[in-house]
Structure 1
Amino acid sequence: MSDALLTIKDLHVRYGGRSLLGLKTKGFDAVKGANLTIRTGETLGLVGESGSGKSSIANTLLGLVPASDGRMEFDGTDLAALPSGYPPALRRKIQAVFQDPYSSLNPSMTVEQIITEPLKLHTDMSAAERRAKAAQLLELVKLPATHLPRYPSEFSGGQRQRIAIAAALALQPKLIVLDEPVSALDVSTQNQIINLLYERRDALGMSYLLIAHDLALVHHISDRIAVMYLGHIVEEGPADRVYHAPAHPYTKALLEAVPLLDPARQRARRAARRAAPAADLPRSAEAGCPYRHRCPVAMQRCHHEAPPALPVSGGGTAQCFLVDTPPVGDHSAQEAALT
């Protein structure tokens, strides 16, 4: 892989703290010291349950939510230090595709208007050039140019998401943030969209930040995977290693939640999950491992000491005291774990 396109260092995102009247309220820490890297041409999959902080990272990266602390170095610029609203030259380098294709497209605009709007704002193309570009972009996402004069209400969910992808590709961005891009679609359409994204990334050489809760889906398209829990990046590393040899108990729990083909085993798993006691999950800053309340292998020290990001055999890191670290003296393994 080439040099890093995006480097996130010790990112904190906090909501609340003051009401509309200026009175102090209890704040909420959504992201707590996240560290991530995305290289040019790479897809980083960011996974975790709802409320883990994934979308907060995405919204902060897109300039929709301010960072409370930390840095986001993107293509030589610290995004966290910028005032609200990125300059046009930077905005065209980062685009997004959101979860719900039924609400992310303006229903009063035609497909042509939706796709050409960023071209109109950020380029000096003529109307004819923009129309030709829109037709080309539709072909890239495997839709005919005859759809240009139609409206979003005339399309299926999968077709609308293809239109959203075409609009995101219009400015040839360096990075596209994909925030749950297929969760609102049926399974067969999900596969089509994921394969389309994979093909376009390789053809155009861009990078993706793919946010999802389905670890199996993320593994299919990602080069690296980061796992998020209660605002913390608890594990990250090469996609194959994280998926096939997870190091953190939470990552293992996510994999165990993937549906099984054997109905009997699936029923047994559900029964065991229902029998497990519910955990009280604190959201405020506390000492100790953030996963200790649900972890089946938590030790006494986990309740008082937060584990650091330790190198994992096979590459990447995990915030767990029980991590299988590379052998001492195995410099190649240690270097792979830290890249």
Structure 2
Amino acid sequence: MSDKALLEITDLWVTYWGRSLLGLAGKPFHAVKGANLSIRAGETLGLVGESGSGKSSIANTVLGLVPAASGSMRFGDVDLASLRMRYPSAVRNQIQAVFQDPYSSLNPSMTVEDIVTEPLRVHTAMNRSERRDRAIELLELVSLSREHLERHPHQFSGGQRQRIAIASALALQPKLIVLDEPVSALDVSTQNQIINLLYERRDALGIAYLLIAHDLALVHHISDRIAVMYLGHIVEEGPSDRVYKAPAHPYTKALLDAVPLLDPQAQRDRREARKAAPAHEMPRMAATGCPYKNRCPSAMPRCQAEMPPVYEIDGGGTASCFLYADHVEAPKNGTGRAA
């Protein structure tokens, strides 16, 4: 795995504009606020958080589906943010995606062969025979076979459809695949199969993944590093084991506390402890201070007025929390590692 960043996101802001009844521009909604992230070649970065935290906005901006309001996204020598969604073919070929619903992301009128070879037809000079041979190779990579070529998406299970989507994403041999909740629509046993498949293909082909999910346990299984988002902010980032086993930010701890426990008694004890704990306000956009201040059990007076800087954390990574005010502030290079 290279130490050089394949994708370097610096101070990224993503803004949506509401519309009034008269069609006039309304107030801006900042879905991503100054995000700093990086992904190295062959690495998986897991991006987790609740619905509405800004995860998919980052994914869609990287894919060129949503413009960046400001900041930079350097992919190799190219700043994707400056392209304003108009990616040249050479760049677009290197960034592919697998989405949440494997049925809606596949054209139901196309055969598997057409779906898998569509990127090859558009972006390469392969003839039909060469594309078919490549499609068979790709299907075998995802544990399907040539017998599936003439079938349509409705003839497959959810897990098989997701395998087809993965095969299509691999067709152009991309350097980065954005996985936006790739298994959340599948049952648990199928989720494990797809995650293991992604893990194997990454190691065999040297692909980098940006994995968007809300399940920290699942993300921990496949990711090298984890970044945690809350209301548009990256509140914690670091090595997967450190974030999962020794979370630094109170919000990360809350996410882990939501993961069901295998021990029934421990699960009951935790449920009772939650009931006994004082209630906190529901999340809302804060004009000043820490975005998590209204829900944080460790909130301090300064949290109400000041946005905490990003501090380096023992064990690797960073956290944006005044609990670590005695730590060294991290450089703003998006990596959580020393510049």
User: If the length of structure 1 is used for normalisation, what is the TM-score?
Assistant: 0.93
d(CA) in 2 for partners of 1:197 and 1:336? Answer: 25
Separation in 2, partners of 1:170, 1:24:
40
Asked whether the equivalents of residues 136 and 145 of structure 2 are also in contact (C-alpha less than 8 Å), the reply is yes
- Pairing partner for 1:280 from 277, 282, 289: 282
The one-letter amino acid of 2:249's match is H
Shift of 1:327: 8.7
After superposition, the C-alpha distances for 1:251-297 in whole angstroms (9 at most, x for unaligned) are 111111111012232234334445652513222x5111111111111
Task: Identify if the C-alpha distance between structure 1 residues 201 and 296 changes in structure 2 by more than 3 Å, giving closer, same or farther.
Answer: same
Alignment partners' CA distance in 1, 2:83 and 2:174: 19
CA contact (8 A) 1:314 1:337 kept: no
Question: After superposition, where does 1:4-19 map in structure 2 within 5 Å?
Answer: 4-19=5-20
Alpha-carbon deviation of 1:22? Answer: 5.2
Using the TM superposition, give the Cα deviation of residue 322 of structure 1 relative to its aligned residue in structure 2, in angstroms.
Answer: 1.0
Cα distance in structure 1, aligned partners of 2:147 and 2:18: 51
Amino acid in the other structure paired with 1:204: L
Shift of 1:17: 4.6
Go from structure 1 to structure 2 and tell me whether the alpha carbon gap of 1:327 and 1:47 turns closer, same or farther (over 3 Å shift): closer
The equivalent of 1:42 in structure 2 is 43
Q: Match of 2:312?
A: 311
Structure 2 segments unaligned to the other structure (5+ residues): 330-334
Q: Which amino acid aligns with 2:51?
A: S
Which residue in the other structure is 2:236 paired with?
235
Instruction: Give CA-to-partner distance per residue, 1:79-135, whole Å, 9 cap, x none.
Output: 111133311111100000000112111100000000000000000000000000000
Aligned to 1:169: 170
The CA distance in 2 between the partners of 1:137 and 1:20, in whole Å, is 49
- Alpha-carbon distance, 1:324 to partner: 8.3
Q: Using the alignment, how far apart are the partners of 1:269 and 1:324 within structure 2?
A: 29
Residue 9 of structure 1 aligns with an amino acid whose one-letter code is T
Q: What's the CA shift string for 1:52-85, capped at 9, x where partnerless?
A: 0000000001010111111000111111111333
Give the match for residue 30 of structure 1. Answer: 31
How far the C-alpha of 1:20 sits from its partner, in A, is: 8.3
Matched AA of 1:98: F
Instruction: List aligned pairs for 1:1-339, cutoff 5 A.
Output: 1-2=1-2, 3-19=4-20, 23-273=24-274, 277-283=279-285, 286-323=287-324, 337-338=337-338
**Counterpart of 2:155 in structure 1: which amino acid?**
E
Q: Which amino acid aligns with 1:105?
A: L
The letter for the 1-side match of 2:160 is Q
CA distance in 2: counterparts of 1:336 and 1:68, whole angstroms: 23
Q: What is the alpha-carbon distance in structure 2 between the residues aligned to residue 135 and residue 324 of structure 1?
A: 55
- Give the aligned residue type for 1:338: A
Instruction: Answer whether contact 2:32 2:58 (CA < 8 A) is retained.
Output: yes
Structure 1: 5+ residue stretches without partners: 329-334
1:315 and 1:338 in contact (8 A); partners too: no
Q: TM-score, normalised by structure 2?
A: 0.93
Residue aligning to 2:332:
none
Mapped to 2, the partners of 1:278 and 1:68 lie a distance apart of 32
